[in-house]
Each structure stands twice: as structure tokens, then as C-alpha cells.
Structure 1
Amino acid sequence: MTEQYCQSCCISSDHPSLAGHFPSNPIVPGVVILDEVMHAVQQAIGLALGSDIPLRISTVKFLA
């Protein structure tokens, strides 16, 4: 059985990671996206943020 979970997030245009990151066409760096994914997974499975339980993403692919 495959479980699905959907959550959206907003990255503010003044987020520090966007400074100088393609100024004419800002792109959110993958590390910021992965951080948001990890927070969403923790929330979905009921872990407190900063929990000692290790989470791992073994494969990821970003599509434009």
C-alpha cells in the first residue's frame, strides 16, 4: 500500500538563501526544499522537530 501526504509551504522572497541565487530568475536551492520536506515528514509521522530519530532521503530528483 502506498501512502500519500501533501503539504505546501511558502519560501519568502527575502529568504537568505535567495540572495545572489540567480537574481534575475530566483530558484530555491535544493537544500532549502529538502529541509522543508524533512519538516513535513516529521510532522506527518508525529515527530517533534529536532527529534533524535534519524530520517533519511536516499534518492531525490528535482524537476523544473
Structure 2
Amino acid sequence: MVEPRCVRVAVPRDHPAFDGHFPGRPLLPGVVLLAQVFEVLRADPEAAAWLGEVPRLSAVKFVAPVPPGADLDVCWTPPGDGGRLRFEVRQHAPGDDAAGVLAATGQLDASPAVR
């Protein structure tokens, strides 16, 4: 069984994505959360090689809002032959328990040229 890999990413309280999203209760936009996932995967040589230049997001589900100042654990399992790369993102914000809160899940397909 392949163990998942995880990388922790800090989301600064003053990240510009929080401006106007939403006034009075700032939340990290989903597209920014996905950008963090792609940055983490691109930094891992094995994941980057598998994904190729133009991976396809085949599914994503946003489960919980991410507040300013939260840390994100981006975790993924390397795919098997012909499989999909599955990921999950857990947030760690003040008041969350040690395991964090599931913020998003999804899966990616490799670029057509890589398959």
C-alpha cells in the first residue's frame, strides 16, 4: 500500500485573495486553494512527472471554508498504473483539533501526452 504524502502550506492572514471575499467573513477562494495544491504537486518531482504540463482536474469538492491565517496540509497518494492522483486538503486554524478540518478533496488526471 502506498502511503500518502503531505506538505504543509501557510496561508498568510494578509493574502490578497481575502480582500472582498467576503467582507466581514473572509474566506480563501476555491481557485486559490487549488492553486496551492498545484504548487505543492509541481514541487514534488514524482507528482510533477506524472501530471505533465496540462493535468486535468477531474473532480473537486470544497467541504469547509478556509479562514485567514490557517495552515493547509495538502496530501496526495501517488497514482497506480493508469490511475488518478487523489488529493485532500486539511486546514489547521485556531480552534481546530489536531487532525485539522477537511477543506477539500479531488482528483487529477495526467496530461494526455503523459498517458
CA distance in 1, matches of 2:54, 2:3: 20
Q: Which residue of 2 aligns with 1:58?
A: 58
- RMSD, aligned CA: 2.0
Q: Which runs of 5+ in 2 are unaligned?
A: 65-115
CA distance in 1, matches of 2:42, 2:20: 30
The ranges of structure 1 where at least 4 consecutive aligned residues each deviate by more than 6 angstroms after the TM superposition are none
* 1:40 maps to 2:40: yes
Specify the structure having the higher radius of gyration (Cα): 2
User: C-alpha deviations, 1:42-64, integer Å up to 9, x for none?
Assistant: 112264xxxx7222221000111
Which has the larger share of strand? 2
Q: Which residue of 2 aligns with 1:30?
A: 30
Q: Which has the higher contact order (CA 8 A, sep 6+)?
A: 2
TM-score (norm. length: structure 1): 0.73
Partner of 1:59, secondary structure, is strand
Instruction: State the Cα distance separating 1:11 from its structure 2 match.
Output: 1.6
Aligned residues: 60
TM-score (norm. length: structure 2): 0.45
